[in-house]
Amino acid sequence: MLEIKNLFVNYGHVKAVKGISFRLEKGEIVSILGSNGAGKTSTLMGIMNIVKSDREIYFKGENISKDKTTKLVKRGLILCPENRRIFPGLTVEENLKMGSFIRGDEKNNLEKVYNLFPILKNRKKQIAGSLSGGEQQMLAVGRALMGDPEVLMLDEPSLGLAPIIIDEIFNVLIELKKQGISILLVEQNAIKALKISNRAYILETGKIVHSGISKELLYDEKIKKAYLGR
Domain segments of the chain: what residues? Answer: 1-76+150-158+182-229
Q: Are 184 and 151 in contact (CB under 8 A)?
A: yes
Helices (H), 76-146: 92-98, 106-116, 118-122, 133-145
User: ∠ at Cα 138 (165, 201), nearest 5°?
Assistant: 75
Is the confidence at residue 17, as pLDDT, over 80?
yes
pTM of the predicted model, to two decimals? 0.91
Instruction: Write out pLDDT tens, residues 56-94.
Output: 999 999 999 999 999 999 999 999 998 888 999 999 999
Task: Of 45, 53, 49, give the one whose Cα is nearest residue 18.
Answer: 53
More confident residue, 117 or 230: 117
Which pLDDT score, from 0 to 100, does residue 222 have? 80
CATH code of the region 1-76+150-158+182-229? 3.40.50.300
What pLDDT was estimated at residue 188?
84
Q: Residue 29 forms beta bridges with which residues?
A: 183
* Cβ-contact 124, 95 below 8 angstroms: no
